Amino acid sequence: MLFLYNFIVLFTSQLLKLTAIFSLKMKLFIDGRKSVFQNLTDKIKTLDNTIWFHAASLGEYEQGLPVIEAVKKQFPNHKIVVTFFSPSGYEVRKNNTVADVTVYLPLDTISNAKRFIELVHPEMVFFIKYEYWPNYLNELKKQQIKTYLISGILRENQAFFKWYGGFYRNALKTFDYFFVQNESSKTLLQSIGFNNVKVSGDTRFDRVVSILERDNSLDFIEQFKDNKTTIVIGSSWPKDESLLVNYINQSSDNVKFIIAPHNIKSEQIQELKNSISKKTILFSDVETRLNASLQENNVFIIDTIGILTKIYSYADIAYVGGGFGNPGVHNILEPATFGVPVVIGPNYSHFAEAKALVNMEGCISIQNQSQLNETFDLLLHNEDERLEKGHICSTFVQMNKGVTQTIMNHILN
């Protein structure tokens, strides 16, 4: 099985090089890995103490950040190495300040795994949520390097739990401990003989709670809001926007809308702006000082990245996009931590926090235009309802914090 796996990895690596000719994302994926070993050689010396964190993409990095920060504080003389598999994570966070070294993870070949671990020589390794690379895990096991899974999620349909999954189950033996998000993940691991597991919860709760401790003020958002009720639309996709624009165009001028689309390509931003009949301004217009009268606008389109979380602090109502596509809704915890009621589309079944908040009625799932209209009208015109749902959201986040400390207590003991 290992031979077949390695053949598939090598074949895929060649295929990706061809794909890179036609895809910018794949080009970043391939080109970004060319200098990894040289970067490691330049930045990590033989006598350095290191700790390695691996995140598949941006979401997993943000999820693991509370633990990365806690480990960095506890081990100030160690170098922190962060790896990404996906360009959508690496390209956004390659200049982060928490890690000493941030690189792509080379493809999971035997030679790459040996060389990478030789250069990094970590004392501890943390895989965030998922991604199980057999050659890396086998090499970590051979060298008896402590390895942990944090905020893990396991599902019955994964290969580990199938009759043919012995090869993958064997890779799990590398982990010294599994910190998982829920009981079902613990039960699944125990069903295949792993008892070194604790239900610690999701570190994203610690991440969003920490947001409240920083300065979230944005002068230009405050100026635009102008003390009016504001709906913040985060990480929206065209399927979300087709419903939202219909509502925006018939809404009262006393309501403000801030839209931060998932995709900020200029042609899609312009198409979105052209579909809105209300007075609309782009963030890039403000940045270039083409329009200084922010408060005169009804809609503010944020055609940049990195400020959505702060913008949620100004929301009276939040709509989080992605719920009309696959795999589903984006991060609802960021607006929830500010005590903001959240509206989402119908596809949220893979996200435990969304399922919980919908059941608690702090979050409302809509399936069509009429339901969106009714929900927004209810929340806009009934302040008590809006405040109650917001309180449910903030309380839910506060009740689930403390995951990072649970993980650190185990590691230090």
Q: List the catalytic residues.
A: 60
* Rg, Å, the chain Cα set: 23
199-216 burial: b if 16+ Cβ within 10 Å, else e: bbbbbbbbbbbebeeeeb
Q: Residues 402, 403, 409, 412: is their CA dihedral positive or negative?
A: negative
The rounded distance, in Å, linking the Cα atoms of 173 and 161 is 14
The rounded distance, in Å, linking the Cα atoms of 159 and 175 is 17
DSSP letter string, 330-367: ---HHHHHTT--EEE-S--TT-HHHHHHHHHTSEEE--
Strand, helix or coil for residue 17 = helix
The rounded distance, in Å, linking the Cα atoms of 66 and 206 is 6
What burial class does residue 366 get, using C-beta atoms within 10 Å of its C-beta: 0-12 exposed, 13-18 middle, 19+ buried?
A: buried
User: Residue holding tokens 């959505």?
Assistant: 308
The rounded distance, in Å, linking the Cα atoms of 223 and 82 is 38
The rounded distance, in Å, linking the Cα atoms of 148 and 66 is 15
Token pair in block for residue 152: 């893990």
Strand, helix or coil for residue 257 = strand
DSSP letter string, 184-216: HHHHHHHHTT---EEE---THHHHHHHHTTS--
372-to-344, 389, 398 alpha-carbon distances in Å: 9, 16, 28
The rounded distance, in Å, linking the Cα atoms of 411 and 78 is 15
